[in-house]
Structure 1
Amino acid sequence: MFEVIGYTEAAGSVVDLSSLYNKDSKQVNVLVLSAGNKENCVKEGSCLEIFMLQAQLLKGGCADRRGCIRDEILQKRHYAAAQPLSSAVLGPNNRAFGYCIRTRTIQKFLLDEGISDTEDIVQVTPERETEGHALGSASLLLSPHQLWLVSLGKDGSLCVFETSCMRVLELDAAAIQHVYINIDEAGFNLAKRKGR
């Protein structure tokens, strides 16, 4: 069943959203990637915010009269990435993955849980970077079993990475054969086969 329980505000205009549900703790985590603004984030980078909601806290009224989810129900953590990201997904074990527009890399971040004040902004640096797509930005998706990260570039290329080591998975597919048929002026067939 789907139900709107209320709303909250992000640091800036939302660029991407990602959610992750932990069955053991019955907690929903939502990662918000936003452009942010100069007061609450970084000047040229991106803001990453995590909103955490425990399922058992939803039993009573969790929103105020305007529909805003109360702070005691929704935990918030704020992070700042120094470089601009076009896409971000929340992974397991306090990890997040982002696609950096400037360096054209996929970055893996460790998001520290030990933030005491919800207003503190923690600067995060990538713990690992992997080469991305040659032509501009990309969108990231995490597989349901959280072992693979998929990136889809604007150029139409698709890459699958292992989330643990950020290595590109080799896809076992047979080469597609193409036949180019060229007939010269004398009528000879100059067919060539090429694998792709």
Structure 2
Amino acid sequence: MIRILLADDHPVVRAGLASLLADQPDMKIVGMVDSPGDAVAAAAAGGIDLVLMDLRFGDSPGSGEAGGVDATRRIRKLEDPPHVLVVTNYSTDGDVVGAVSAGAVGYLLKDSSPEDLINGVRDAARGESVLSRQVASKIMGRMNNPLTALTPREIEVLTLVAQGQSNREIGTQLFLTEATVKSHMGHVFNKLDVTSRTAAVAAARERGII
């Protein structure tokens, strides 16, 4: 039996997922929470095999890392942690890289078919990698174009630039020198073929990178 915790701040989404998965003979919903902190606390209490984690829990613009990413990282640091499968509406490169880097075993979009979601839950519970088709295409695109694909750190820096932070502020948050931040932005400019921070942010948003 796969014991599942649903972590999403939308009651309708939680109810829909619970209704779909509860019908499966090998699955049991053991809890539903609406905040990242509650998800970590429930996982720490034990008795959970898989957490279905939303990516953003009403995060305000400029608040930094998505709540689901931080919760995933904290859960995966627990002793004997459950696997985490991200189920979200967001599919930018930064979101995907952040979730996978935090330890998520998979990444599905909420518009996935019921069959894909059910199969994804079973695979994720076994620790197998699960990716929606759209996310898989993004990753393959990065692998096929390694010279123009932004690195996780470049995406992280550019995301903070998009939030209006200066090089000094970014350096402080990421524990980097200003020179290193400038170097990362130089690589971003070259890869996106732009000459300004504003243009870099616009190009990245247009391409779904941030």
- TM-score clears 0.5: no
TM-score, reference length from structure 2: 0.27
Of Structure 1 and Structure 2, which has the larger fraction of its residues in helix? 2
Q: Which has the higher relative contact order, 1 or 2, with Cα contacts under 8 A spaced 6 or more apart?
A: 2
TM-score, reference length from structure 1: 0.29
The structure with the largest alpha-carbon Rg is: 1
Of Structure 1 and Structure 2, which has the larger fraction of its residues in strand? 1
